[in-house]
Chains A and B, each alone.
Chain A
Amino acid sequence: MQASYFAKKIIRSVLTIWLVVTFTFAALHMSGDPIEALVGDQAPAAVVAHYREKFGLDRPLWEQYVSYLHSIALGDFGLSMSDQKPATTLIAEALPNTLRLGLVSFIGGLTGGVVLGIVAALNRNRPVDRFVMSFAVFGFSMPNFFLGILLMLLFALHLRVLPSAGADTGWHLILPAITLGTHFAGTFARFTRSAMLEVMNKQYMTAARAKGAPQARRVFWHALPNAAIPILTIVGLKLGDLVAGSIVVESVFAWPGIGRLLVGAVTSRDFALVQAILIMVAITMMLTNLAVDFIYTIVDPRMRTSEGARA
């Protein structure tokens, strides 16, 4: 793969980030008033004017926009209006919690989903397959907030065996991780099954069977690597989806991560914080996609040649 291919990707990503910043800036400024969120609906005009001036919101919109672009180009994402702390500090405080929840649920969902997908593919049209696919449909179609509340009602309210909210102990991780992980597992199981069924009908699989290769070798050595490309694509997309998925789960389970930070920041129209989080999400998506592109070339050498030829 050539350097120009990555250069193109990076330029496209920078452009994407600029669009994210611009749309967020416009949407937040058009959709509400941060000072109203800060001082309430009964505040006198003098108080409102004081805070507008303090946060530079009395300046023309284009001036605020140019000044903001200039600051982020210098690495300054601004102060959170409600906390008076740098937006990056607040993100750094919340990120470990999101990573903890995200990684546990993602790895759990990926492992469970791939295993279930393989089992379903190997037992095509049998009861096991139908059961796994029912679980998969349940997993990716059940809204997170609903599953979360159901789990909370069952395990915290009725059985009283797990805590309902917070992130204080390891036990607090279980319900939100199951909620988020079920969604991932459902999606991965379905994609893995489809990808496996497609490669299992290929000639090289027939050849492997004819050579007397045992089933485990045929599945893990011959089928899975060839089915990996569509699975990797969905893994890349879902990794980027991690923060979006965690917004709901973190709110339901009072998990103090990036998702809740974003919800609070949008509610209070905390411009600097919302923009910093969205830029972080955009960069994460961008890096994930780059990483997936790179892994494609390792998993499938044909990708290397075709990308090189195109570049």
Chain B
Amino acid sequence: MYSDFSSKKPVRSLLTALALSVAFGCVSHTALADDRPSITIAVNELARSLDPVAQTGNVDVRIYYSIFDTLIRRDFSHPTADGGANLVSGLAESWSWTTPKTFDVKLRKGVVCHDGKPFNADDVLATFSAERLWGPESYYPEGRVYFGTLEKVEKLDDYTVRFTTSEHDAVMQHRLSSYTAFVICDEAWNAFKKPGVDHKVWMDEAAKNLRWNPVGTGPYKFVDYQKNDRIKLMAFDQYYEGKPAAAALTFKSVPEVAARVAGLVAGDFDISVEIPPDQWDSIAKYKDLVLKTVPLENSHILAFNPNDPVLADKKLRHALSLAIDRKALIDALWKGKTYTPNGHQLPSFGNMYIKDRAGYAHDMAKAKKLLAESSYKGQEISYRLIPNYYLYNVEAAQIIQEMWRELGVNIRIDFVESFKEVRKPGVQIFPWSNTYRIPDPTGALLVLWGPDSETQVGHKLYKSSDEFNALSKVLYVSADETERRNAFAKMLDIFEDDMPMTMLYNPVTAYVTKKNIRWEPYSQYYMDFRPSNFSIDRK
């Protein structure tokens, strides 16, 4: 191992510490007691900011998940018996619907914000205010996507908050555990409030100042940001779950995969993220490293444009879907480490998951029969994509092109620069990713393909039937689980028959850790360094 100028050089560090302690004549007892190691995580890209509403990308959430908490937390490591998302207490101690439209949350006592102020209902009010998150003129338009059903948020006492919705919201507890629901501390945010100043003006000032100086309640607090270099967080020992395992977390920006792997082997990093499958075999050679893969709650799909004169024929769309050998794709691209969901759903939907659905099948004989019955006359069909926007999207396109050639369909792959270009007139087939941000159809199928979705309203790439639209209403407002489940099953039938898209697979994300790091990845991009999911074996 090279001798480093940094703190990793034990002898020099020890001598420096000794000299400093002699020079100052005293040594902090806390510092001496804190012999926890610091951890370096090599990431492909740093968070674009630590604003938990403005930035919800994979590169962002994995970092600020350690800074902020949600009221309700999803326990990814311990799903329910049927594989569903298990919700546990976060900053909320308990929660319940007190009427069909009022959702009361009892807050945890004794929680402290990173600025030393106690956490209470005022922090929740600041986070979920109409002006900030969900009102028609909210500062963050993103918040309306998740909390558009809210009508009022009020404080019942210092540790009880009531959320009132316009209609019963069956997944309110999931919303409070998901994106844009990270709780900020009110003093830091409201410090920018000025009487008579429009909320968008002062919130803009607050957001600008706090994007690199966030104040939350999470296990680590922000210390330092150097663009394109690092984000450093320090253990927040007053965290309600207990002392975090590492004294500090440094997220280091290392865009090259080879450098992320080499740095881990050389001992510069403790965890490296986004290790693609072509590196997995080489990792196995190192006995002190552990590869951890997890299929994401995100599906790579192929969207068909049913308004296109050629693809308007439903039989052709079904034939194309049936001709895709998804297992071959998964084996070739993902080393067999993932799966194709059986419909636009995941096991994490819990009671809403329709386990016995067949989903999108592979049957070349049936595909050929349907193609022969269709109006397809050998026209060239465009498959538009942004190269490498999704991992292996080019390779997948080339494999699928060959599968469709075998079917008898002529495909031309067109590379473009942006999704605006992808969806321009003439669009026929394009790859897209569908994220299941809330483990429920209302957080996935309806957001992306429902009657109010951008796909239908803005891009007009799908027009659902009246029956589908009526069933979607049931999903949003019904409190009866059986009724919701039946409605969802019927919706999936209609959706798969309409065939505006076909499912490919859920991509896999892979992490490599040192063997002494006890940490498990989740099926979303959150990296959880809370004591319940992270410890370091010091032997």
Interface residues of A (CB under 8 A from B): 31-33, 36, 38-47, 50, 82-84, 90, 93-94, 149, 152-153, 156-157, 160-171, 251-254, 256-257, 260-261, 263-264, 268
Contact = CB atoms under 8 A, between A and B. Distances in A.
Contacts of B265: 156-157, 160
B454 A32 contact: no
A256 B226 contact: yes
A95 B348 CA distance: 47
Interface stretch (B97-105, B127-135, B417-425, B479-487): B417-425
B255 interface: yes
B211 interface: yes
A185 B419 CA distance: 44
B432 interface: yes
Given A33-B420, A36-B419, A149-B258, A165 B229 contact: no
Contacts of B45: 264
Contact of A156 (B56, B141, B263): B263
Nearest to A260: B228
Contact of B417 (A31, A45, A169, A252): A31
B208 A165 contact: no
A42 B253 contact: no
A223 to B, nearest CB: 41
Contacts of A157: 261-262, 265-266
B520 interface: no
Interface string B491-527: 0000000000000000000000000000000000000
B141 A164 contact: no
B24 interface: no
A168 B2 contact: no
Most buried by A among B5, B262, B419: B262
Interface string B252-273: 1111101111110111100000
B419 A45 contact: no
B51 to A, nearest CB: 10
A93 B226 CA distance: 9
Contacts of A256: 226-229, 253
A163 B419 contact: no
A39 B51 CA distance: 13
Nearest to A54: B204
B6 interface: yes
B57 interface: yes
Interface in B199-236: 208, 211, 226-230
B211 A84 contact: yes
B227 A94 contact: yes
Given A44-B454, A254-B256, A162 B2 contact: yes
B253 A156 contact: no
Contacts of B435: 42
A41 B4 contact: no
Contacts of A45: 454, 457-458
Most buried by A among B4, B45, B144, B229: B229
B266 A163 contact: yes
Contacts of A82: 48-49
A126 B363 CA distance: 70
Nearest to B51: A84
A31 B411 CA distance: 25
B268 A166 contact: yes
Given A156-B266, A251-B255, A165 B42 contact: yes
A47 B228 contact: no
B332 interface: no
Closest 3 CB pairs of A and B: A169-B5, A256-B229, A164-B262
Contacts of A93: 226-227
A46 B457 CA distance: 12
Given A251-B256, A256-B229, A40 B57 contact: yes
A161 B268 contact: no
B142 interface: yes
Interface residues of B, number: 51
Given A160-B265, A160-B267, A165-B254, A253 B4 contact: no
Contact of A164 (B57, B142, B259, B458): B259
A161 B2 contact: yes
A261 B228 contact: yes
Nearest to A258: B228
A90 B259 CA distance: 24
B22 interface: no
Contacts of A39: 142
B262 A168 contact: no
B461 to A, nearest CB: 13
Most buried by A among B5, B145, B227, B419: B227
B171 interface: no
Contacts of A43: 142, 454
Contacts of A44: 141, 145, 454, 458
A84 B458 CA distance: 29
B255 A254 contact: yes
Contacts of A31: 417
B419 A33 contact: yes
A156 B267 CA distance: 9
B433 interface: yes
A156 B228 contact: no
A47 B141 contact: yes
A169 B4 contact: yes
A46 B256 contact: no
B1 interface: yes
Contacts of A94: 227-228
A153 B262 contact: yes
Given A40-B57, A83-B48, A163-B4, 15 more contacts: A42-B448, A44-B458, A45-B458, A83-B227, A93-B226, A93-B227, A149-B256, A152-B258, A157-B261, A157-B265, A160-B2, A160-B265, A165-B42, A171-B4, A254-B229
A248 to B, nearest CB: 10
Contacts of B267: 160
